[in-house]
C-alpha cells in the first residue's frame, strides 16, 4: 500500500478581508516550521490575487472554492479554470454540500467542474456526503457512491488525479463529527470504488470534512483510509489550523 502524505485543506468559505487575511497568513507561515504534511487554503475568489502574493515561495498552497463548468463566454459572475490558473491555484473545491444545497448543483455539473479543473492542471477536491435523513435511512453508501460515480464516469483515466472529500452534511458547521469508525467505513467504500475505476487509486487522497477540530483530528487521521481533512471554521484561526497541521504531521 502506498503511504500518502496527509493533506489538510482550509476552506475559508465566505469569510475574510484584506487585513484579516494578511494577519492570518502571517501567523500561519510563522508557525509552519514543524509542519510536514501538505497544506493549502481555499479562499474566496476576490482574494486569490492577494493570497497568491502572500503565499509565494511558502509551503502553504493556494486553493479556490469553486470553478465554472464553462471555459469562457456569457456567464456573468462565473470564474473559469483558466482564470484560476493565472493565480497559481493548486486545488479547487467542487461540489461542496453548500453548493449542492444552495445552488442546486447536480452530480453531473460537479463532474464537469472537476473535468474543467483537471484540464487546467488544477486538482479538484470532489466533495461527497449524505444528509442526516439519508444516513438515518441507511442510504449513506448509495449516496456517496452515486456522487463519486458521476465524476469517475466523466473523467475516466484522469480519476487518479483528483482528491475526494467525504463531508457528512449533518456534521458541517454543526459541531457534530462522524466517529472515526463512521468516517473510516465511508472512506473504505470510496477507496474500493476508486480501486474499481483505476489502478492508481492509492494515489488519491480521501479527506474527511465535517467539524474536524484539534480534539477530534488525531483519531480521525489515524484511520487507514483517512488521508487528511477539509477544514472549515478551524481554518480561520491560525492557532487552530496550525494545531491540526501538527497533528497531521505526526
| pLDDT attached to residue 213 | 87
| pLDDT attached to residue 3 | 62
Domain chopping of the chain, boundaries: 7-248
Give the separation between CA 110 and CA 116, rounded to whole angstroms: 10
Active site residues: 96, 167
Give the separation between CA 104 and CA 196, rounded to whole angstroms: 29
Give the position of cell 483505476.
198
3-state secondary structure 4-19: CCCEEEEECCCCCCHH
Query: Minimal CA–CA distance to 173: which of 236, 113, 112, 222?
Result: 236
Instruction: Count CA within 13 A, CB hemisphere, residue 13.
Output: 13
Query: Minimal CA–CA distance to 88: which of 119, 120, 127, 111?
Result: 120
| pLDDT attached to residue 173 | 74
Weakly modelled stretches of the chain, pLDDT under 50: 1-2
Q: Which fold has domain 7-248?
A: TIM Barrel (3.20.20)
Give the separation between CA 191 and CA 226, rounded to whole angstroms: 10
Amino acid at each position: 500500500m502506498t503511504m500518502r502524505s496527509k493533506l489538510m485543506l482550509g476552506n475559508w468559505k465566505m469569510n475574510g478581508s484584506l487585513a484579516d487575511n494578511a494577519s492570518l497568513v502571517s501567523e500561519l507561515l510563522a508557525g509552519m516550521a514543524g509542519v510536514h504534511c501538505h497544506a493549502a487554503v481555499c479562499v474566496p475568489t476576490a482574494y486569490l490575487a492577494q493570497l497568491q502574493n502572500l503565499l509565494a515561495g511558502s509551503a502553504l498552497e493556494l486553493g479556490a472554492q469553486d470553478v465554472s463548468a464553462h471555459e469562457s463566454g456569457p456567464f456573468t459572475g462565473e470564474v473559469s479554470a483558466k482564470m484560476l490558473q493565472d493565480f497559481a491555484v493548486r486545488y479547487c473545491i467542487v461540489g461542496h454540500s453548500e453548493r449542492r444545497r444552495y445552488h442546486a448543483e447536480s452530480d453531473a455539473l460537479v463532474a464537469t467542474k472537476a473535468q474543467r479543473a483537471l484540464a487546467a492542471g488544477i486538482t479538484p477536491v470532489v466533495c461527497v456526503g449524505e444528509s442526516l435523513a439519508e444516513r438515518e435511512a441507511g442510504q449513506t453508501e448509495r449516496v456517496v457512491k452515486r456522487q463519486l460515480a458521476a465524476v469517475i464516469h466523466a473523467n475516466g483515466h484522469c480519476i487518479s488525479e483528483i482528491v475526494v472529500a467525504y463531508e457528512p452534511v449533518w456534521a458541517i458547521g454543526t459541531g457534530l463529527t462522524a466517529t472515526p469508525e463512521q468516517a473510516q467505513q465511508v472512506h473504505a467504500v470510496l477507496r474500493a470504488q476508486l480501486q474499481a475505476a483505476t489502478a492508481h487509486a492509492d494515489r488519491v487522497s480521501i479527506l474527511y470534512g465535517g467539524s474536524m477540530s484539534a480534539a477530534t483530528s488525531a483519531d480521525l487521521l489515524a484511520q487507514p483510509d483517512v488521508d487528511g481533512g477539509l477544514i472549515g471554521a478551524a481554518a480561520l484561526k491560525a492557532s487552530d489550523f496550525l494545531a491540526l497541521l501538527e497533528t497531521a504531521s505526526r
